[in-house]
């Protein structure tokens, strides 16, 4: 994983567990590989509102309802790669502060239990305490996701 992510966690004195895992490409698959429930895995989606980017964080077992985020769209791959270097597209950690962008957190996301997220590559994940995640991410809470059934 990128060194700046690990430094960010250490600098904020957060206990974390780095997990190397087989390459998978969906948040639900990764939750299964990590042996956690989909709701505990932070899926990070890069959104654009005009030219401004932001991170939307939701559980792996949810999807974004764009009718509840008027004016937002999925960011394009060129928009993402320009801002989120050296992180792999689809493996961006849920901390907008690292990139100078805001973080939105869906209100369904569980923050009172351990969570996991991609660590900048498709083969590394990090597990941390939900309270530490909130402290680091300092997200804006919103209601924008629906559980996938």
pLDDT digits (tens, 9 = 90+) for 48-103: 999 999 999 999 999 999 999 999 999 999 999 999 989 999 999 999 999 999 99
pTM, entire model: 0.94
Unique residue bearing structure tokens 């907008």:
96
Does the pLDDT value for residue 149 go beyond 80?
no
pLDDT value of position 81: 93
pLDDT value of position 1: 85
Phi-psi region of 17 (alpha: psi -120 to 50; beta: other; left: phi over 0): beta
Angstrom distance (rounded) from CA 87 to CA 122: 10
Q: To the nearest whole number, what is the mean pLDDT of the chain?
A: 94
DSSP β-bridge partners for residue 44: 57
């Amino acid at each position: 994983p990128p060194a700046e992510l690990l430094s960010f966690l250490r600098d904020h004195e957060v206990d974390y567990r780095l997990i190397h895992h087989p390459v998978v490409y969906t948040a639900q698959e990764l939750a299964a590989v990590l042996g956690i429930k989909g709701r505990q895995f932070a899926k990070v989606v890069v959104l654009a509102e005009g030219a401004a980017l932001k991170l939307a964080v939701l559980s792996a077992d949810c999807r974004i309802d764009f009718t509840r985020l008027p004016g937002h769209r999925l960011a394009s791959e060129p928009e993402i790669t320009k801002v989120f270097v050296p992180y792999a597209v689809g493996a961006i950690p849920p901390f907008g502060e690292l990139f100078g962008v805001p973080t939105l957190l869906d209100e369904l996301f569980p923050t009172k239990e351990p969570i996991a997220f991609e660590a900048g590559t498709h083969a590394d994940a990090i597990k941390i305490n939900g309270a530490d995640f909130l402290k680091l991410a300092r997200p804006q809470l919103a209601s924008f996701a629906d559980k996938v059934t």
